[in-house]
Amino acid sequence: MGGSGSRLSKELLAEYQDLTFLTKQEIVQAHRRFSELLPRDKQNVEDSLRERVSFEDILSIPELKANPFKERICKVFSTAPSRDSLSFEDFLDLLSVFSDTATPDIKSHYAFRIFDFDDDGTLDREDLCRLVNCLTGEGEDTQLSASEMKQLIDNILEESDIDRDGTINLSEFQHVISRSPDFVSSFKIVL
């Protein structure tokens, strides 16, 4: 892995291990992949911890490229003021939430934020509509018709909206997700 310039210090590694669900190898591997996305002159340790990578570069990694929610994922984890780039710590946060050992609670929390397209804290009809369109792919012919969409969203709200206010809030979402056996195993990204 090259000289001392491209290695993380032990204390930093230990701290990251305390703060995330990743193992040491995964953190080191994440650091390597992140550095590759930076321009040549900024690939040493100090700069890599400070620099930010723009969305286009992050979305070019194969693990995210095929994901229909890739922009939302980047937006949710970004701490930049304009929310258009990721730092290394944001990247680690992302990997930690999507790792194997993360608790279902934290996964469902972040899933809710990813699905909340307008960032208003609830999933309303508009959010659900955009969510379904993401899942059915890009082409015109694969998207659902308006009546099908309406029926689908009606059914979803019927099932999950406990207090009948027309939106799904975080606790309702977590209640639905916690009963699903597929969620934890499919909500994973591994570098």
Partner 1 sequence: MIANVKCKPWKMEKKIEVLREAKKFVSENEGALGKGKGKRWFAFKMMMSKKWAKFLRDFENFKAACVPWENKIKAIESQFGSSVASYFLFLRWMYGVNMVLFILTFSLIMLPEYLWGLPYGSLPRKTVPRAEEASAANFGVLYDFNGLAQYSVLFYGYYDNKRTIGWLNFRLPLSYFLVGIMCIGYSFVVVLKAMTKNIGDDGGGDDNTFNFSWKVFCSWDYLIGNPETADNKFNSITMNFKEAITEERAAQVEENVHLIRFLRFLANFFVFLTLGASGYLIFWAVKRSQEFAQQDPDTLGWWEKNEMNMVMSLLGMFCPTLFDLFAELEDYHPLIALKWLLGRIFALLLGNLYVFILALMDEINNKIEEEKHVKANITLWEANMIKAYNASLSGNTTGPPFFVHPADVPRGPCWETMVGQEFVRLTVSDVLTTYVTILIGDFLRACFVRFCNYCWCWDLEYGYPSYTEFDISGNVLALIFNQGMIWMGSFFAPSLPGINILRLHTSMYFQCWAVMCCNVPEARVFKASRSNNFYLGMLLLILFLSTMPVLYMIVSLPPSFDCGPFSGKNRMFEVIGETLENDFPSWMAKILRQLSNPGLVIAVVLVMALTIYYLNATAKGQKAANLDLKKKMKMQALENKMRNKKMAAARAECRSLQPVDSNFLSLPEDQKSSFPSSSKVMTHVKFQRTSFGEQLLCSTLDGIPDVFINEGCLSPPRARKISMLL
User: What is the closest distance, in whole angstroms, from the C-beta atom of residue 183 to partner 1 in the complex?
Assistant: 4
User: What is the closest distance, in whole angstroms, from the C-beta atom of residue 159 to partner 1 in the complex?
Assistant: 5
- Contacts (Cβ under 8 Å, ≥6 apart) of 97: 21, 77, 106, 107, 110
Closer of 41 and 66 to partner 1 (Cβ): 66
User: What is the closest distance, in whole angstroms, from the C-beta atom of residue 37 to partner 1 in the complex?
Assistant: 16
User: What is the closest distance, in whole angstroms, from the C-beta atom of residue 63 to partner 1 in the complex?
Assistant: 5
- Rule CB under 8 A: which residues touch partner 1? 15, 17-21, 23-26, 62-63, 65-69, 79, 89-90, 92-93, 96, 98, 103, 105-106, 109-111, 115, 128, 131-132, 135-137, 142, 144, 148, 151-152, 155-156, 159-160, 162-165, 173, 176-190
Which of 21, 20, 23, 24 shows the shortest CA–CA distance to 10?
24
For residue 169, the Cα-to-chain-centroid distance in whole angstroms is 19
User: What is the closest distance, in whole angstroms, from the C-beta atom of residue 19 to partner 1 in the complex?
Assistant: 5
The DSSP letter of residue 79 is -
Closer of 119 and 159 to partner 1 (Cβ): 159
Amino acid identity, position 126: E
Closer of 55 and 187 to partner 1 (Cβ): 187
Asked if 58 and 51 touch (Cβ cutoff 8 Å), the reply is no
The C-alpha atoms of residue 43 and residue 96 are separated, in whole angstroms, by: 22
Using a 10 angstrom Cβ sphere, with 0-12 exposed, 13-18 middle and 19 or more buried, the burial of residue 183 is middle
Closer of 41 and 158 to partner 1 (Cβ): 158
Closer of 54 and 60 to partner 1 (Cβ): 60
Which of 105, 118, 93 shows the shortest CA–CA distance to 170?
105
